């Protein structure tokens, strides 16, 4: 399973108080409509010459659990502060291996509180502007 582990220096999955609930698709790029120019070069009207893929939006969901209400509220505020940030998203694999990164913008954050004041689920929505590598 590949999951989002960090964004812009913010740890989103640490295996204890922050756990990934969703997995990321392995291939997050879709083919674009390319046009072959008269000289034989390929042109993408959105991404320029030589482009073959367009990064696709993605979302990631996490369960956050904390020992105190203050810690949970601080984490919630920090997550909401990611909205509009441009940064590096890091995806890790359960089986280990090399992490992949892409540059993305955090577009939205949805937080759903659990019965406990110290736990909540959060869904982050991203718009990437580079492919995963």
pLDDT (tens digit per residue) in 11-45: 999 988 999 999 886 554 555 566 677 777 666 66
From the list 78, 73, 59, the residue with the least C-alpha distance to 123 is 59
Q: What is the pLDDT of residue 51?
A: 46
pLDDT, the chain, mean: 83
The β-bridge partners of 3 are: 92
Q: Which of 8, 30, 5 is nearest to 106 (CA)?
A: 8
Name the maximum alpha-carbon separation found in the chain. Answer: 65
Identify which has the larger pLDDT, 23 or 96: 23
Nearest-angstrom CA–CA distance, 91 and 124: 14
Tell me the domain boundaries of the chain. 2-28+56-128
- Using 50, 70 and 90 to split pLDDT, how confident is the model at 57? confident
User: What pLDDT does residue 28 have?
Assistant: 47
Task: Tell me the average pLDDT across 77-94.
Answer: 92
Structure-token pair, residue 47: 């991404």
């Amino acid at each position: 399973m590949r999951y989002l582990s960090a964004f812009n220096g913010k740890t989103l999955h640490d295996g204890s108080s922050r756990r990934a609930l969703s997995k990321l698709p392995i291939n997050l790029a879709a083919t674009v409509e390319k046009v072959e120019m008269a000289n034989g070069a390929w042109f993408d009207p959105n991404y320029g010459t030589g482009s073959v893929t367009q990064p696709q939006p993605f979302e990631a969901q996490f369960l956050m659990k904390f020992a105190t209400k203050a810690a949970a509220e601080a984490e919630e505020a920090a997550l909401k502060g990611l909205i509009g940030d441009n940064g590096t998203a890091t995806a890790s694999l359960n089986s280990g291996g090399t992490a992949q990164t892409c540059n993305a913008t955090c577009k939205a954050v949805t937080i759903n509180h659990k019965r406990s004041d110290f736990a909540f689920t959060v869904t982050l929505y991203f718009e990437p502007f580079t492919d995963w590598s």
